[in-house]
Amino acid sequence: MAENRKLHIALFPWLAFGHMIPYLEFAKLMAQKGHRISFLCTPRNINRLPKLPPNLINFVSLPLPHVEGLPAEDAEATVDVPYDKIQYLKKAYDGLQESVTLFLQSSNPDWILYDFAPYWVAPIASRMGIKTSFFSVYTAPALGFMGPPSVLKGESSVNYEIRTKPEDYTVPPKWIDFPTTVAFRYFEIKRIFDSMSPNDSGVSDVCRTGAGIESCDVVAIRGCIDFEPEWFRLLRDLYNKPVLPIGQLPPAGDQNDHNRDDETETETMTWLTMKSWLDKHEKGTVVYVAFGTEAKLGREEVTEIAVGLEKSQLPFFWVLRLTQAAILPEGFEERIEGRGVVWKTWAPQLKILAHESVRGHFTHSGWSSVVESLRFKRALILLPLIADQGINARILEEKKMGYSVPRDERDGSFTSNAVAESLRLVMVEDEGNIYRHKVKEMSGLFADRDRQDRYLDNFLDYLKSHKTSELSTEQRRK
């Protein structure tokens, strides 16, 4: 039957590793179901993505146009540029419209799944009869808090008020019709408030999101109805179109598989060095500390974290990029030798989290890291830094799955004492039992492979049943 044939699905993520990696994980899962997958990305980023088995996915290399304002010609991801230059990366990304159009014309995919940034994809694809899905790596609560497309696009409405100042984002909006604490804290929204306004790319982030949602055929969201049912119901009401959960996308593979086929000798030796240190510590005693690839900690923040780790008296493994390790307090590494490690290069996060000596994860609340932590039932100590991380933290706090380090509401500053006390609370104190127990209780929603597989199958069944007809496919080939 035609309904059972395999699909050709294209994916087009935004150029941030927090987006590209979940997109790649989703692409891999769909390819393993036998579907033909095209992954559209830029050359340098394709080379930096995790290696996959040969011929599983077709990587479509789209050279990024150079635009004035980008600091280097090889700047192809947000990690390559300062925060204030990301607007120019978006401008260069918008320059891929012609390349994407040519790909769609020549390849005729059944569906294209796209991110928040390329708001222009759906109109192009629709003219060719290609079905479109806005695929959000942001959670349902994050999207629900931001509101319907009209609000995101800044259009006034009798039903919804337009938010114009940071304070407007520190309370739940009126369209959320159930009790919740989900909102930004003042310092969180202040740090990203520029994303609410047009920048040198010509279009604000929220407007891109609104236009992308408005023009697609279906919205796909990383998440589970089991975990956040009220938020998915809200989004269907706000968007007035299908909103489908695709699961939490936990990384595939056995945590005990320490020698992948594609693992380099250097990676193997790196892990063995780490494992040797972790093996020396008792089960459930180590704090893993990592704050993602996007946010850049300031000197004061690095200092307070370092001194807080020192004061906590807990063993810790801190992954800190080399440039930031250079601003550690003088003598810190000597003082914590044996009890703590500051690792200054790439680290295999999944393997570290899987090690039995690790009990907690001191994290920025990026959802990929949250999913990985919960897979291994690791307690969460939260320090949200940018983007949607504050909203993620509220959800985890609300469900008693994570505890946030106390901070100044206006500027987000925190003290070493707050860091130490938060770590000890979640890691060892009786008062923190609720957080340790909750992550164990909820981990099934994130780690259960059968559950995640059902979400994927349901999504693919939807794509099959709503794909472009054979007739229109032939028509658009002419």
Using one digit for the tens of pLDDT, what is the confidence trace for 184-229?
999 999 998 988 888 888 999 999 999 999 999 999 999 999 999 9
| Contacts by residues 330-336 (CB-CB < 8 Å, ≥ 24 positions apart) | 332/306, 332/307, 335/310, 336/309, 336/310
Tell me, what's the pLDDT at 267? 79
CA distances from 400 to 178, 266, 385, 439 (A): 18, 39, 20, 8
| Out of 85-89, 254-258, 301-305, least confident range | 254-258
The C-alpha atoms of residue 454 and residue 433 are separated, in whole angstroms, by: 32
Tell me, what's the pLDDT at 269? 85
Per DSSP, the residues of 200-265 read TTSS-HHHHHHHHHHH-SEEEESB-TTT-HHHHHHHHHHH-S-EEE-B--PPPS-TT----TT--H
Residue 10 inside a domain? The answer is yes
Residues 147 and 216 in one domain: yes
Residues 373 and 462 in one domain: no
Q: Which helix (H) or strand (E) holds 348?
A: none
Residues 129 and 191 in one domain: yes
Residues 118 and 181 in one domain: yes
- Indicate the pLDDT class of residue 253, thresholds 50, 70 and 90: low
**How many domains are there within the chain?**
2
Residue ranges of the alpha helices (H) in 280-298? none
Residues 132 and 38 in one domain: yes
Residues 46 and 132 in one domain: yes
pLDDT at 256 > cutoff 50 = no
Q: What percent of the chain has pLDDT over 90?
A: 77
State mean pLDDT over 402-427. Answer: 97
Residues 214 and 308 in one domain: no
Q: At what angle do helices 389-398 and 367-375 cross, to 10 degrees?
A: 40
Q: Which of 80, 321, 301 is nearest to 187 (CA)?
A: 301
**152-186: b (≥16 Cβ within 10 Å) or e:** bbbeeeeebeebeebeebbebbebbeeebebbbbb
Question: What DSSP designation does 373 have?
Answer: H
Residue 258 inside a domain? The answer is no
Residue 100 inside a domain? The answer is yes
State mean pLDDT over 176-184. Answer: 95
pLDDT at 111 > cutoff 50 = yes
The boundaries of the domain holding residue 172 are 2-249+448-477
Task: Name the 3-class secondary structure at 178.
Answer: coil
Question: What DSSP designation does 197 have?
Answer: S
CA distances from 212 to 121, 136, 155, 186, 392 (A): 8, 10, 15, 27, 22
The C-alpha atoms of residue 274 and residue 263 are separated, in whole angstroms, by: 16
Residues 61 and 117 in one domain: yes
- Indicate the pLDDT class of residue 1, thresholds 50, 70 and 90: very low
Residue 260 inside a domain? The answer is no
Sheet of strand 131-136: strand arrangement:
58-61, 36-41, 8-12, 111-114, 131-136, 218-221, 243-245
Residue 255 inside a domain? The answer is no
Residues 214 and 346 in one domain: no
Residue 254 inside a domain? The answer is no
Residue 259 inside a domain? The answer is no
pLDDT at 382 > cutoff 90 = yes
The highest-confidence range among 81-85, 327-331, 415-419, 451-455, by mean pLDDT, is 415-419
What are the tokens at 301?
């923040």
Residues 312 and 397 in one domain: yes
- What CATH number is associated with residue 371? 3.40.50.2000
Tell me, what's the pLDDT at 294? 80
Average pLDDT, the chain: 91
Residues 386 and 463 in one domain: no
**Phi, psi at 179, each rounded to 5°:** -65, 135
Tell me, what's the pLDDT at 445? 87
pLDDT at 254 > cutoff 80 = no
Residues 279-315 have pLDDT tens digits of 999 999 999 999 988 878 999 999 999 999 999 999 9
Task: Name the 3-class secondary structure at 439.
Answer: helix
Residue 109 inside a domain? The answer is yes
Cα dihedral 372/343/323/416 (nearest 10): 80
Residues 214 and 320 in one domain: no
